Structure 1
């Protein structure tokens, strides 16, 4: 008996419910299409999207290995590493697609699971006897080449308003951070606020007037950084005040890989190499806004960059062959399309999305490994 294991991994700040009913729906579609194997689905438990990405990949790989070993024992496989009975499709949403990709890269590389190892070498050494055996990586709206500038540009006003409110709230906290006396002293400096920042509140109260200290620091950092920093700080205050700014920075560390352009390109190029040389499937189904983002004159509403509004940057090289658009005619912004792609009530293209995923996996799976087996069933995996 042979098993095709679908393993789902959520993205940044996601959870067990990220995929909705999609794992069951995709499993059912594949069961009908791949009758020669047992199709199982598995959702990786919710994990903290914080800290070092490589450590997250390492933990996920260990967990996946344990699950696959259990299945190989159930299947009484004589030689799991030479001729495994279980092949896995790693399915990731958003940052989960990068976790999935780096897991594959670590399995096919002799290097350690670190950016300097699996992405740092210009020479690729492929391990064809990987265990667990990954048949393909199917990503959903994963920013392999970064997040589209339009995501920020089209929502700039909303983000600015939120940040302005955050700065106002933080002005009352400055005394707590730096001390009322120091804050009051800083206020005596007649520093004019930048135009991009809201005017400081006027009050003789030492707690409220502590804006002065925050204003000086914000201005020194520059208006853009100040707005972003204020928004992050407000979020810390709301949810994790006892852990302070370290909580925010640890989460930023997790998504920091999106700022490393060279590593992003190396990851994509290595995935293309694995597809061509080891026949490991790889695709990125990315969201694109549809009818709700088109104005009366036929142009994209609020379009700032190009005539397509997507959450992810799109490739311009050979990687274009691995990107497949998934149109959402109901979403009004890129982030909304990104977060609701697995919910039929918010995404009219849900069923097309599921069929596209099925077709890709069927194409990757119908190989000699698949043809050599003829007894397939379907079941869940606890």
Structure 2
């Protein structure tokens, strides 16, 4: 029987159908060439709402995956799919999608959500090696399993601060040119002081004063006041929409709230590493690291760079435990961590795309090279002709 290795892609927070670009086709072709005895296929989990409880997202994904795998097993006429499946899967998640993938794996092997054994005193749950669907591995791309790197916020804040400072400096010069500097006005006024009650004399009729200079400041003050009033009125009239928007925001924050639970993050990683050691389930996280462009911006000379260093990543990295499961993917084009995180599947924005793809292929091939794949039979020649 021809065995099927199904690559399943899961997008992350606020992702969608275009998150992975052409990467699914590309990596499938690479793996197929490396494992000709298997039938390599891929599925992209449809765009889903990244909101609400994470457990609900995991449950919906698990049901969807089960349905898809059963369909293939029926097509293959597999005698006993739960004991000897013809289909194995590799769950491939970007960002929060990697957490959905990991939690799905943990649910399949323990029937328990991560937070139910998050206590350090709790006993490790027994593992179920007869999981169905069978997950051969979890391959994550820039998934913050240990939280988001503080450098993402720190570098961003410093860049925004520098930009704002520059803008304020320019604005100060601009306002000085428009309204005249206070120092110049004070110096001029000190020459000929008038009684406080006296009104200033009107300018000579032959001194041309632009109308915008006369009324600009008044208009600015009036405009600012009107804006405040208008904003207040709009907030009152749109209070229902604002309330709805707040609910929308908090619902999405609930989904990513797991990133704030340090103990739960550690337990999740420990659980997947345990599955790797005991059940030989593959696990890897290809994380982005900024390259030449970020360094050329003078990083390391900045306040944040001098403290955090120039190894800029989107994800927190493990200090020692589980370090072998983290693999760097350098992006020499990205100037900040967030952009590198979002553009890793687009060769135009990520010069390291092909190197990253090769690393991903090697991991998948390593995980899938076993007795199960060796027992696969089929017309290999027909497959090669189809690929041509």
Residue 122 of structure 1, CA deviation: 3.6
Secondary structure of the corresponding residue to residue 339 of structure 2: helix
> Match of 1:329?
332
Shift of 1:306: 2.7
Structure 1 position 309 matched with structure 2 position 331: no
Matched, 1:155 2:146: no
Q: Is the 8 A contact 1:97 1:142 kept in 2?
A: yes
Stretch moving more, 257-266 or 121-130 = 121-130
- Length-normalised TM-score, structure 1: 0.77
Greater percentage in helix: 2
Answering whether residue 382 of structure 2 is matched by residue 360 of structure 1, we say no
Larger Rg: 2
- What is the TM-score normalised by the length of structure 2? 0.76
Instruction: Name 1:170's counterpart in structure 2.
Output: none
Question: CA 1:109–1:298 in 2, change beyond 3 Å: closer, same or farther?
Answer: closer
Secondary structure in 1 matching 2:92:
strand
Distance in 2 of aligned mates of 1:365 and 1:91: 14
**Structure-2 residue corresponding to 1:246:** 247
**Could you tell me how far apart the structure 2 residues matched to 1:298 and 1:327 are?**
16
Shift of 1:293: 1.0
TM superposition shift of 1:244: 2.6
SS of the equivalent of 1:39 reads: strand
Deviations 1:185-222 (A, max 9, x none): xxxxxxxxxxxxxxxx96388735859x9xxxxxxxxx
Match of 1:33 in 2: 34
CA distance in 1 between counterparts of 2:124 and 2:300 reads: 45
Cα RMSD after superposing both structures: 2.9
Of 361, 372, 376 in structure 1, the residue corresponding to residue 375 of structure 2 is 372
User: For 1:326, what is the secondary structure of its paired residue?
Assistant: strand
Change (3 A) 1:159 1:245: farther
Aligned to 2:177: none
Q: SS in structure 1 opposite 2:296?
A: coil
The Cα shift of 1:372 comes to 1.0
The residue aligned with 1:99 is 100
1:93 is displaced (CA, Å) by: 0.1
CA contact (8 A) 2:331 2:351 kept: yes
Alpha carbons 2:31, 2:40 under 8 Å: kept: yes
Could you say which residue in structure 2 is the equivalent of 1:116? Answer: 115
Distance in 2 between residues matched to 1:19 and 1:136, nearest whole Å: 19
Q: Distance in 2 between matches of 1:278 and 1:314?
A: 24
- Given the superposition, is the C-alpha separation of residues 130 and 300 from structure 1 closer, same or farther in structure 2, using an over 3 Å criterion? farther
Q: Deviations over 1:108-143 (max 9, x none)?
A: 0032xx343364544131001000000000000000
Q: 1:78 to 1:271 in 2, by over 3 A?
A: same
Contact 2:289–2:331 (Cα < 8 Å) also in 1: yes
Aligned mates of 1:119, 1:10 — CA distance in 2? 25
Q: 1:83 to 1:326 in 2, by over 3 A?
A: same
> Which residue number corresponds to residue 203 of structure 1?
225
Q: Sort the Cα spacing of 1:241 and 1:206 in 2 relative to 1 into closer, same or farther, 3 A.
A: closer
Counting matched residue pairs gives 316
- The separation in 2 between residues aligned to 1:138 and 1:293, in whole angstroms, is 26
Q: How does 1:55-94 map to 2 (within 5 A)?
A: 55-94=56-95
| Structure 1: runs of 5+ lacking an equivalent | 164-200, 214-236
Which deviations, in whole Å up to 9, do the C-alpha atoms of 1:255-303 show, x marking residues without a partner? 0000000000000111110000000000000000000011387847762
- Helix, strand or coil for the counterpart of 1:207? helix
- Partner Cα distance (1:160, 1:15) in 2: 32
Alignment map for 1:276-295 (pairs within 5 Å): 276-295=277-296
Alignment gaps of 5+ in structure 2: 165-222
Residues 106 and 118 of structure 1 are in contact (CA less than 8 Å); yes or no, is this contact kept in structure 2? no
CA contact (8 A) 2:149 2:316 kept: yes
